[in-house]
Amino acid sequence: MGRWPLVLPIYGEVASCPPHLWGGGPKGRRGRAGGAGPEGQGRRGRAKAAGLGKLDRVATTLTHADPLVVAGVHLRSRLFIGTGKYPTDESMLAALEASGSELVTVALRRLDLDDPKKKTILDVIDWRRYRILPNTAGCKTADEAIRIARLARSMGLSDWVKLEVIPDPRYLFPDPEETLKAARVLVGEGFKVLPYINADPVLARKLEEIGTVTVMPLGSPIGSGQGIQTMEQIRIIIEEAHVPVVVDAGIGVPSDAALAMELGADAVLVNTAIALASEPALMAEAIRGGVEAGRKAYLAGRIPKRPQASPSSPTEGMSRPT
C-alpha cells in the first residue's frame, strides 16, 4: 500500500498527573479517580488514601491534568469519535474539530482499498492531529476480524484495533464467543485490543484477563440513540475492571454521555448521534461538554440519594421569635 505512515504520533503526555488518577503503581485501578487501591479499597477510598483533599482534586481537574491512559498512551480527551454516516467529509472534519477528540475510529472493511489512487477517509483525516483506531466493523466471525486487524497492521495503520464481531444484522449485538476467540488470538500477536461487547461483566472480566487494553460495553444497540439502557451492568463492569471502560453505542444526546461518565466510565465512543444530527459540529461540541461535565461530577462525588428531604439551611442555632 505504502501511502500511510508507519508510526502514529502519541499525544497529550501530562507530567504532573497524580498516580491515583491514571492507575499508576503495580496495583493501581485504571485511569480514574478513586479506583480500588492496593488494599482493595473502593473507588472513592483510593483518592482519600493518596492524601488528596477536595481542593487538590478540583485543581487537578481545572488544569486538565486528568489524562486517560490506554496501553501506556496519554489521551487528553475522553470522547472517541466514529467516522461513519456523515453526509460529507467536510461535516466530519468540522465535527472532529469541535469534539476535541484525539482518537478516531475507521472501519477498514468499508473502505475501497483496491485502487491506490482512490481517495479514502484515511486521506481526509489529519494524522498529525488524530490517532487512527482501525475497527473490524462488518466482520461476522472471529476469523474475519483477525484478518482485518492483520490487514491494518500490514498497512502501517496501527497495532491498536477496535474489535467488533457482529453476526446479528438486525440488533447488531456483538457475538461474545467469537469476540473472546478473536481477542485471544490478537492479544497473542501483540495487538492492543479494544473490544466492543454486550454489557456483560463476566465477559468483560475474561477479556481483561487475556490482556485487552480496554473493555467497551454497549449502552444500547448501535445507532439506536436509546441512551444508557444497561446502567447496572455497566456499573458492575466499572467497579470490577482494572482497564479503562469505554461506553460505546446508544448515546444519543449530551446527557447520555454525561450519565456514562458520572457512573465512572473512563470514556465514551460516539458516532451516529453526531454524524446524523442536523448540525454535526454543534452536536459534537455539545457531547464534548457532556463528557467533561460528567467526568467532573464523578471526580467531585455526587451527594447520596435520600428517601426524604434535607433542608439546605441550618435547623439548629437559629434565632427564634420571643
Helix 231-240 to helix 201-210 angle (10° resolution) is 30
Helix 142-154 to helix 176-188 angle (10° resolution) is 30
Q: What's the pLDDT at 87?
A: 94
Distance CA 144, CA 43 (A): 38
C-alpha cell at position 183: 481477542
Q: What's the pLDDT at 186?
A: 98
Q: What percent of the chain is modeled with pLDDT above 70?
A: 76
Distance CA 60, CA 204 (A): 30
Model confidence at 255, in pLDDT bands (50, 70, 90)?
very high
* Residue 147 shares a structural domain with residue 293: yes
* Residue 46 shares a structural domain with residue 156: no
* Residue 135 shares a structural domain with residue 32: no
* 193 domain residue, yes or no: yes
* Residue 34 shares a structural domain with residue 140: no
Q: What is the pLDDT of residues 129-182, one digit of tens each?
A: 999 999 999 999 999 999 999 999 998 888 999 999 999 889 999 999 999 999
* Residue 199 shares a structural domain with residue 55: no
- CB distance 96 to 104 below 8 Å: yes
* Residue 291 shares a structural domain with residue 248: yes
* 260 domain residue, yes or no: yes
Q: What's the pLDDT at 6?
A: 35
Q: Is the pLDDT of residue 290 over 90?
A: yes
Strands 246-248 and 79-82: unpaired
Three-point CA angle 201, 206, 207, nearest 5°? 95
Q: What's the pLDDT at 127?
A: 86
* Residue 41 shares a structural domain with residue 177: no
Q: What is the pLDDT of residues 46-84, one digit of tens each?
A: 444 444 444 555 545 554 568 899 999 999 999 999 999
CA nearest to 71, candidates 243, 228, 231, 261: 243
How many C-beta atoms lie closer than 10 Å to residue 117's C-beta? Answer: 5
Distance CA 215, CA 218 (A): 10
* 318 domain residue, yes or no: no
- CB distance 33 to 48 below 8 Å: no
Q: Three-state SS string across 155-187, please?
A: CCCCCEEEECCCCCCCCCCCCHHHHHHHHHHHH
- Is 162 a catalytic site residue? yes
* 10 domain residue, yes or no: no
Q: What is the pLDDT of residues 35-47, one digit of tens each?
A: 333 334 444 444 4
* Residue 110 shares a structural domain with residue 159: yes
* Averaged pLDDT for residues 116-126: 82
The least confident of 32-36, 100-104, 115-119, 184-188 is 32-36
Counting the structural domains of the chain, the total is: 2
Q: Kindly state the DSSP code that residue 109 receives in the 8-state scheme.
A: G
pTM of the model: 0.78
Model confidence at 119, in pLDDT bands (50, 70, 90)?
confident
* 167 domain residue, yes or no: yes
* Residue 168 shares a structural domain with residue 286: yes
* Residue 108 shares a structural domain with residue 211: yes
CA–CA distances in Å: residue 89 to residues 15, 152, 288: 35, 22, 20
Helix (H) / strand (E) containing 273: helix 272-275
Distance CA 239, CA 80 (A): 22
Helix (H) / strand (E) containing 247: strand 246-248
- CB distance 6 to 156 below 8 Å: yes
Distance CA 7, CA 30 (A): 26
In which domain, by residue range, is 160 found?
A: 77-300
* 317 domain residue, yes or no: no
Residues 6+ apart with CB under 8 A from 271: 81, 82, 83, 84, 85, 105, 223
Q: What's the pLDDT at 12?
A: 37
Average pLDDT score, the chain: 82
Q: What's the pLDDT at 58?
A: 52
CATH number at residue 229: 3.20.20.70
* Residue 151 shares a structural domain with residue 257: yes
Q: Is the pLDDT of residue 265 over 90?
A: yes
* Residue 30 shares a structural domain with residue 152: no
* Averaged pLDDT for residues 292-319: 86
Name the β-bridge partners of 184: none
Model confidence at 319, in pLDDT bands (50, 70, 90)?
low
* 313 domain residue, yes or no: no
Of the residues 162, 181, 206, 305, only one is catalytic, namely: 162
Q: What's the pLDDT at 296?
A: 96
Q: What's the pLDDT at 315?
A: 66
Q: What is the pLDDT of residues 188-218, one digit of tens each?
A: 999 999 999 999 999 999 999 999 999 999 9
Strands 160-163 and 192-197: parallel
* 1 domain residue, yes or no: no
CA nearest to 271, candidates 70, 149, 137: 137
